[in-house]
Structure 1
Amino acid sequence: MYSELVISTYNNPRALDLCLESVAMQRTAPDGVCIADDGSGPETRAVAERFATRLPRLRHVWHEDRGFEKGEILNKAIASSQAEVLVFIDGDVMIHPDFITRHLNLARPGRFATGSLIRLDAAATASVTAAMVRSGQVFSRRWLRENRALGKLSTWLKTRPFPVPVMDVLERMSPVRRSLCGANASVCRSDLLKINGYDETLKYGGQDKHLGVRLKNAGVRGRHLRYSAPLVHLDHPRGYADPERKKRHKALIRAARRSGESWTAHGIEKDPRT
């Protein structure tokens, strides 16, 4: 199936540069790469242009900065994509060389796959270089342990310490709810169109979970790749976080679970009555 990697970003060109370095190191390259840009400045465009010759069919989808509008720019990326399978990450992560391979091996209609993050603190983030990404050092358990990223057994398991078949069994046994994580997910484009994509009224805090709940309500089942698709997250401030909005979004997620709703009127297609 034709695949596209969709990378959401906003005004973090250093992180995006490191992210794209990791994309360029994939053992299985996606058929296309889309940078879904929520209104960044020229520095981000310059990063995209630098990688245009290194990555297959790189496109840059941008809209004007109106505050946190990640759902809207992702909907634009989904609507304009020609891919059958979309893999989603954020532009502040670095993906293991087998990341795309694992997602594509699990991709099929009626299923979304979702994983998790290994988080770096600010000091470790500042130390990362493009050379460390290219060499794979940032995925090394020794380096991650030395940089305070492996404090729990569950996090250590996210480094894929055993062969994929073993990690696959552990993923199937995991009691963690299969909530969609937008920084590590894949889903068929047709399934996203079935629910009209992201609800654009939800800003930061819960919009990915809301999407995952509506996918499940539409009969699209979640699949863990919690321990088999390693991904390292670069630290950054979150000035856009809003506790009141997060509270509202949690209520909307609970309501979607209860009601069984799947379609949103505030998604890719706009309902003129709302």
Structure 2
Amino acid sequence: MNTELILSTYNSPRALVLTLLSVARQTRRPESICVADDGSGPETAAAIADVQARFPGLPIRHVWHEDRGFEKNVILNKAIATSQAEYLVFIDGDCLIHPGFIARHLELARPDRFLSGSLIRLDTPTTEAVTEEDVLQGRVFDRDWLAQTGTFGRFSTRLKAGLLPKPASHLLEAVYPVGRNWCGANGSAYRAAILRVNGLDETMKYGGGDKEFGIRLENSGVKGRHIRFTAPLVHLDHPRGYKDAEKIRAHRAQIQAARASGKIWAEAGIDGHLSGGAP
């Protein structure tokens, strides 16, 4: 199955390089990697070129638009519209993925299903201390290393780091009492399913856009399935200057409306980026 990994980024070249290095270590690499860039400066393009020079086998494409504030959904829609892949896996450009991450997403992929994972969050001092060698040698996924950094504040975080054997984690994912919401930093679906709901809602900025998108997928018959404990992903800490409480409140109303109405189609969605109009 032709697969593309789409990762979003904005002016975080160091984190992006670390993320791409983790992609280079995948046991099952995607056929393509798309950096969906929400208006970064030239440092990001230089970082991508550096990784490509070091790892010529990584097929990276760079989709960019002008910086107009937080427009992650817009750049993701552009990335999806221009993708040639059948199956799409999504992460953020500050997320380090376990070597078996892509393989696990593909193992459970089905046309009537989207997959939603979770994050192991590092604090600021640990994030700043992570080196390229930590990623390339796999230390960032080692449970002893994570414990020493103080990352395991909750037992559930240990589970996310692969505490249990895979069969037990697989079973736990099926029964764990948490909502099957789309996670844009650890999610995947067939491209055709995404097009049928017209992609992400471009009117939604930070806060809630992922959940609203997942609700519309569910309304269309594509149901969520957790990979919470079998697709480890380590998230690097960063400031969120774009966080806007008023927009978040407005997005909550949109989420409730989508759930109550059974909404499927995003009026401001991906169709504007597709040649020939709507799919």
Query: Would you say same fold, with TM above 0.5?
Result: yes
Q: Is 1:163 equivalent to 2:162 in the alignment?
A: no
Give the AA of the match of 1:98.
G
The 5-angstrom pairing of residues 2-13 of structure 1 reads 2-13=2-13
Paired residue for 1:43?
A: 43
Q: Is 1:178 equivalent to 2:180 in the alignment?
A: yes
- The answer as to whether partners of 2:169 and 2:230 remain within 8 angstroms in 1 is yes
SS in 2 for 1:68: coil
Q: Is 1:76 equivalent to 2:78 in the alignment?
A: yes
Paired residue for 2:22?
A: 22
Q: Any idea what the Cα deviations from partners look like across 1:92-147, whole Å, max 9, x if unmatched?
A: 11000000000011112111001000000100001100000011111111111111
Give the AA of the match of 2:122.
L
Give the AA of the match of 2:266.
T
Q: 2: CA distance between counterparts of 1:109 and 1:81? A: 17
Aligned counterpart in structure 2 of residue 241 of structure 1, from 243, 251, 275: 243
- The alpha carbon displacement at 1:270 in A equals 4.0
Q: 1: CA distance between counterparts of 2:122 and 2:59? A: 30
The 5-angstrom pairing of residues 135-174 of structure 1 reads 135-174=137-176
SS in 1 for 2:271: coil
- The answer as to whether partners of 2:90 and 2:184 remain within 8 angstroms in 1 is yes
Q: 1: CA distance between counterparts of 2:63 and 2:52? A: 14
Give the AA of the match of 2:61.
R
Give the AA of the match of 2:251.
H
Q: Any idea what the Cα deviations from partners look like across 1:128-178, whole Å, max 9, x if unmatched?
A: 000000111111111111111111111110001222221100100111000
Give the AA of the match of 2:111.
P
The 5-angstrom pairing of residues 49-64 of structure 1 reads 49-53=49-53, 54=55, 55-64=57-66
Aligned counterpart in structure 1 of residue 190 of structure 2, from 173, 188, 191: 188
SS in 1 for 2:103: helix
Aligned counterpart in structure 2 of residue 202 of structure 1, from 184, 199, 204: 204
Q: 1: CA distance between counterparts of 2:47 and 2:28? A: 22
Q: 1: CA distance between counterparts of 2:71 and 2:270? A: 13
- The alpha carbon displacement at 1:52 in A equals 2.3
- The alpha carbon displacement at 1:57 in A equals 2.2
Give the AA of the match of 1:221.
K
Q: 1: CA distance between counterparts of 2:51 and 2:85? A: 20
**TM-score, normalised relative to structure 2:** 0.95
The 5-angstrom pairing of residues 54-133 of structure 1 reads 54=55, 55-133=57-135
Q: 1: CA distance between counterparts of 2:65 and 2:209? A: 19
Give the count of matched residue pairs.
Answer: 272
Q: 2: CA distance between counterparts of 1:103 and 1:259? A: 30
Give the AA of the match of 2:75.
I
SS in 1 for 2:270: coil
- The alpha carbon displacement at 1:56 in A equals 3.2
- The alpha carbon displacement at 1:51 in A equals 2.2
In structure 1, runs of 5+ residues without a counterpart are none
Q: Any idea what the Cα deviations from partners look like across 1:175-203, whole Å, max 9, x if unmatched?
A: 10001110000000000000000000000
Q: 1: CA distance between counterparts of 2:251 and 2:150? A: 31
Q: 1: CA distance between counterparts of 2:61 and 2:182? A: 25
Q: 2: CA distance between counterparts of 1:270 and 1:183? A: 24
Q: 1: CA distance between counterparts of 2:207 and 2:183? A: 11
Q: Any idea what the Cα deviations from partners look like across 1:22-45, whole Å, max 9, x if unmatched?
A: 000001101110000000011100
The 5-angstrom pairing of residues 227-238 of structure 1 reads 227-238=229-240
Paired residue for 1:225?
A: 227
Root mean square deviation of aligned Cα: 1.3
**TM-score, normalised relative to structure 1:** 0.97
